[in-house]
Structures are given as structure tokens and as C-alpha cells.
Structure 1
């Protein structure tokens, strides 16, 4: 999952960013409204964690802005990215204002990092109408545990290959464009080029042989993963 974290407290932002990355997510952290506005408008995210009290820009003398303005702008242009508003626990009016502006959920500060991860999973399920467990042939993805199984055995993949499968299986049968897949697997510090993406797809195809699942390329459209009725091939294994 690619997440936009909008938080001006550098200590809190660092803690949340480290926690999310440890769970396999890609995170871009914006500390002011101008940066958040630019990234939100120009790059695809699966979810946004949005603090409401923000500097208007990165300028040292920047005044305060209101994160609700970012949310209202996004909803006004038709952006339905799931948003969790971060609020002070005792500010009921902020929670209500955030939900009224189009937020999907809120978290009161201070919050538990495990709760952030759980709420993000719930938002993803609702946004894509998916379950925690996806089965395709003999390939199983457990979203809650972020684990793959193949042929009834745990299947460990390099992080980027796992993320490719995660995107293709959310849900299976959905066409994902090369541009969207590259953007979702990138962040501003670590972009993913087309050649690298094609290499990941090629390796995954070999590893999925005999699994009952296959990755197809739809020329000019992108990739999808679907059931493969040809189970006669032996699964490829890494040495």
C-alpha cells in the first residue's frame, strides 16, 4: 500500500513512517500543506493520514493552514482516496468536521501504531470490496498478516515482488496499468522505472508456474492476475 502521511510533527511523522514501512508499506511524508497538495494531486495513493493543523508551506515564516481544506479540495475534484484524519483526542469538533468534509475515519492522538495499521487494512477492504484472504489457484494472500502461501507452504518473496502481487490481487482480475503499478510501488525517494517493473513481472511469472495463477499482459492496458487452468507445469523455485 502506498500512503501519504501529512504530519508536521517531525518526531511523530518519523515514528509512524518507520512503523508503516516495517509493515511493507511505501510512505511519503509531507510536513506542510503546499507539499501535501502537490503530491496528493499528482501521485496515486491508497490512503492518506491527514493531520489538520499544518504550516501552509515549508517557508520558516509560513502561517498555519487547515488540513480540512486539502480534504475538501480532493473530494471536490472527485478524489475518493480513503482518508484517516489525525486529531487531538479531546477535540470532538475536529473529528466531526473531518468526517463532514469527507474523511473515512479518524484517529485521536496519541494513538497506538498497531491501530493505524488495522484501520488502514479496514479502509482498503472497504475501498476495494475485498476480504482479508484471497485465494487464486494454490496461491493464498492473507492481507491481515501480509503473508503469502503457495502449495500450502509459506512463500517468502522480495519486498517489491510481494508488493506487485499485492496490487494485482487487490482484487484479482482487475487490470492494473503499468503506470499505476510503477507509481504505487514508488515513493519520492525511491522511484520504480518501467524496466525494473517488467523484471519483477517476469520473475513472478516464472515463480507462479504450476500455481494455478498467472499474470497476463493486456497490450496498451496493463497487467492482471487470473486463474490458470494449466496445472501440469512444475512450480519454479529459487535456488
Structure 2
């Protein structure tokens, strides 16, 4: 198994290189994004242990990235690193879903300590496990069980299932699933959601998800 991965989102190239080097020395694999759109794409395509996120980014802001993560149920721990030191900025960052907030300039040792603390809290986080028939989903640990069997899902399959589990008994439009999974940050093929639904049925049972033709999908009986 490879090193655990961190996404570092920072447009200051020199600072980014220095932080990345410190993280790598601390036994992390580091992916780097220098603008908001690149960060959104990386978060959609990969699962990270944590995100280090600057606020003042080209393109979409760090708050846009963070709000998009939380809107699609991405609970990846997020540590904001920014030069914005006003109380209002800290409140907005925390309210948007940040797990901690570190103001520049800072010592790398403090950054690593705060990162360790954020990860400890995330690993001990309590969140309800969702159930439907013999399927259970742990949103925090990203674990899916079918009875007593662990089921491996891709990141996009997991997000599709979680969106349906959160809305049991309600029809979820395909367009809404696309927004939840991709955050509206990219153009996808028209049959992409149908492919994820097909894979979920194959892995979890053909009758699990109902297709409501011309509209979307539903998990469970109509309420």
C-alpha cells in the first residue's frame, strides 16, 4: 500500500513547494493544485486523507471548493491555510466546513501538528451509519457492507449510493445526482450516472435501486 495522500491547494508556488517537501518528509504523498478548479477536479477523482486549502485562489475560491465538498457529502478533513486573519474570515471558513484554520505565516511544525490533530478528530468522529435492508453505509469511514461482507465501491459509486441512502423513499433526479457527485465542476457523459447505478445493482443487488423513467432513481419504496 502506498503512502497516505494529502491534497495541497496553494497558488504561491514557493510556499507550496516548501509545504509539500515538509509533508513528504513526514511520510505523506502530496498532490498539488494551484487553483480552485484543479482542486475540485482532484477531489472528485481521488480520495484523500486530508486537504490543506488556501482561500485566495485563482478561479474558484477556497470557500467554493470547501462548500462544494461538503455539499456532496465529502467529509475529507480540511485545514485552511490563509493570510486572511480577520475573525469574519475564520468564521466563514469554519461555517463552510473547515476542520481547522491556520493563518500565514506559520511554522511548518505547527502545520503538521494541526494536521495530526485534525486527523485524530476525524478518525474519532461519530456519524450515523445508514441502513437499508441488508446494506449499511458508514459515511465517515466510507465503508459499505452487504450483510457481513465488505463491498468495494469506486469513489463515484460510493457518492451515488450515499446520495440515495440519504434520501430513501424519494426520487432523486439524475441531474441532482450529477451535481452532488461532481459539484457542477465538470461536463460528464449523459449515461454516466446510469453506469454507476448499474455497477451498484451488480454489487449490491438488482432490486436495490428503482429507475423512475424520465426522472431519476429511488432507493426504497415510495413514501
Q: TM-score, normalised by structure 2?
A: 0.53
What is the distance in 1 between the residues matched to 2:198 and 2:134? Answer: 19
Aligned pairs for 1:85-104 within 5 A: 86-87=80-81, 93-99=85-91, 103-104=96-97
What SS class does the counterpart of residue 157 from structure 1 fall into? coil
* Residues 182, 194 of structure 1: 8 Å contact kept: no
Q: CA deviation at 1:183?
A: 4.0
Structure 2: how far apart are the matches of 1:121 and 1:175?
A: 33
Structure 1: 5+ residue stretches without partners: 22-27, 40-47, 59-66, 126-130, 229-239
Q: Which residue of 2 aligns with 1:51?
A: 54
- The 5 Å alignment of 1:109-188 reads 109=102, 110=111, 111-112=114-115, 115=118, 131-186=127-182
How far apart in 1 are the matches of 2:10 and 2:118?
Answer: 17
Q: Given that residues 34 and 57 in structure 2 are in contact (C-alpha distance below 8 angstroms), is that contact kept between their aligned partners in structure 1? A: no
Mapped pair 1:217 → 2:203: no
| Match among 94, 107, 132 for residue 100 of structure 2 | 107
3-state SS in 2 of match to 1:194: coil
Give how far 1:222 is off. Answer: 1.7
Residues 149-191 of structure 1 deviation map (CA, whole Å, 9 limit, x = unaligned): 1122212234433332122223433433212323444489985
What's the secondary structure of 2:218's corresponding residue?
A: strand
Alignment of 1:47-86 (within 5 A): 51-52=54-55, 54=56, 81=71, 86=80
Q: 1:178 to 1:140 in 2, by over 3 A?
A: same
Give the equivalent residue in structure 2 for 1:63. none
TM-fit CA distance, 1:139: 0.4
Aligned length in residues: 180
| Aligned-CA RMSD value | 5.2
